[in-house]
Amino acid sequence: MNPVLIPGLPWIGNLHQYRYDKIGFLHRIRDRYGDLVRFRLGPHTLILVAHPEDVHRVEMKHARNYVKATNFRAVVGDGIFMSEGEKWKRQRRLIAPTFHHGNLLKMVDDMNAKIGLTLEMIREVDQHPVELSETMKRLAFEIVCEAVFGARSAGDFTSLRQAMVYINRYLTRRFGALLPLPMSFPSPSNLRFHRALRIIDRTVWELIGQKTAESASGSPGEDLLTKMMLARDPETGEGMEPAQLRDEAVSMMLAGFETTGHLIPWVLNELAVHPEHQKRLRTEIDERVGDRIPGAEEAMALPFLNAVIDEALRLHPPVWAWTKRALEEDEIRGHRIRAGSILYLSPYLTHRHPQFWERPEAFDPDRWTPELRERNKLAFFPFGMGPRTCVGRHFALLEIKLILIRILQGWVLQPVPGHRSQGDFQITLGMKKPLILRFIRRSS
Ligand code: HEM
């Protein structure tokens, strides 16, 4: 039996409903037709997979049968993000160790220095409303670039960031288009895309050259790019070719900045509109960290901070949906999944599934008891699950924690009346309007 196909219009299917309000549409079809349903976006039929056990089958239990269906290859080439099979396994073996605990500890000082510079700017506008969406995206970009390329590198990442932001916007538009023009067609947006890609390539190749020279002169940097350059596959003894290094560096940038950069404003907003949780978190920080610049170990060991971030990741997962393609026929709870089917997974939807979450729409960090963590471990997957789970997860969590601690050490956050944050469901989950909050200095 095929999963039920929901009604739609000839030719376009459900594209108009999806385009108008993606998440509203997905919620409606899940509520009305169930956890495994087919819908049509123009020529493509997709299968929505909303039940945690089915997500687990696709992402973990039978992960070998499902490959990424969204194509970012034009940007990230055949890096860890897009590669599959033996190639992906090899890249993952080479890259995962660069994110190990010991390496993260070495990045803390650089992260803290970047955070300090951003907070200096906020200090100057004391008591006034502060724009946070752009500010946090910029900070997240600088932190990921510094981690990948090192503090000693050429420094100005502004044009690189602008190029990355354009590429994200371009890719989002392409995925929403019914019949996108081939990328080689000289339309204004395609031309701008290729220009942005050239800026990225030029910068990344320059940095690869710089890292190669540093390593050759016997003083290799501590950055991820150098570590990837020097990494050797334990099974074959082989390293990465320069073109592969380029793809991996770009993969890290693409995966690592709009994700964290979007989550931080969501957390700050939840804290501003829930002063009781903000107060409790500030007390935890005061008691455990005081006014010291936090180290990695203490940042990671704050239980209420952990719960606040998990609750924000539950309600506002930055990677809110993705697709996988079935290589061979499969069966999911009695339903036939034909070879070639495109499966649509959405942590946003599953994280608000009323069967698994009480008062799913409420921001309630207290729900994160050890029992709930155990019971709902398949219903919470902001970083994916299984072999393709986010390789930058601990990096991202450390960065977010350091930023939140430093902000709450210095300020009380208050919402600005009349400002409402609504989700903007692009490749990552941003806000429709930039977040503005009032920052009140604690000493004043
Ligand atoms: C809050 C921040 C972040 C979230 C929510 C997030 C989420 C995700 C998700 C959902 C996936 C895909 C899982 C799948 O396909 O099953 C992923 C993959 C990945 N992420 Fe993240 N990510 C975050 C931050 C980062 C950072 C900071 C980096 C790097 C510095 C990073 C690097 C990657 C890479 C390289 C992959 C591909 C892994 C693979 O296919 O083996 N991510 N991430």
CATH code assigned at 44: 1.10.630.10
Whether residue 172 sits in one domain with residue 287: yes
pTM for this prediction: 0.95
Percent of all residues in the chain with a pLDDT value above 90, rounded to a whole number? 78
Residues 148 and 120 in one domain: yes
Contact, 356 vs 379, CB < 8 A? Answer: yes
Q: Among 354, 381, 408, where does a domain finish?
A: 381
Specify if 397 maps to a domain: yes
**387 belongs to a structural domain:** no
Give a yes or no: residue 245 inside a domain: yes
Same domain assignment for residues 72 and 102: no
In a domain, 127, yes or no: yes
Domain match, 125 and 237 both:
yes
Distance CA 37, CA 356 (A): 19
From 361, 381, 401, give the residue that closes a domain: 381
Same domain, 135 and 165: yes
Range of the domain at 413: 83-318+392-444
Does residue 288 share a domain with residue 261?
A: yes
- Considering its fold, how many domains does the chain have in total? 2
CB atoms inside a 10 Å sphere around CB 293: 15
The rounded mean pLDDT for the chain is 93
One domain for residues 295 and 354: no
Within a domain: 163: yes
- Contacts of range 84-87, beta carbons closer than 8 Å, 24 or more positions apart: none
Question: Is the domain of 271 the same as that of 375?
Answer: no
Q: Are residues 45 and 91 in the same domain?
A: no
**Nearest CA-CA partner of 261 in 167, 131, 164, 140:** 140
Q: Per residue in 164-191, pLDDT tens?
A: 989 988 988 887 666 778 888 889 999 9
**Final residue before a domain boundary, out of 346, 381, 416:** 381
Judge whether 386 lies within some domain.
no
Q: Considering the domain boundaries, does residue 287 fall inside one?
A: yes
DSSP state of 321: -
Per the domain annotation, does 437 fall within a domain?
A: yes
Q: What is the pLDDT of residue 156?
A: 64
Measured from CB, residues less than 6 Å from any atom of ligand 1 are 59, 80-81, 92, 144, 251-252, 255-256, 259-260, 263, 317-319, 322, 382-384, 388-392, 395-396
Per-residue model confidence as pLDDT tens digits over 120-167:
988 877 677 899 999 999 999 999 999 999 865 555 678 888 999 899
pLDDT per residue as tens digits for the range 83-104: 999 999 999 999 999 999 998 9
pLDDT computed for residue 408 by the predictor: 97
Q: Is the domain of 152 the same as that of 68?
A: no
Q: 101 and 24, same structural domain?
A: no
> What residue owns the CA closest to ligand 1's atom 39?
388
Same domain, yes or no, for 314 and 174? yes
Report the b/e string of 211-240 with b at 16+ CB within 10 A.
bbebeeeeebbebbbbbbbebeeeeeeeeb
Q: Whose CA is nearest to atom 32 of ligand 1?
A: 392
Measured in Å, residue 208 CA sits from the centre of ligand 1 at 23
Q: What is the token pair recorded at 133?
A: 């969406």
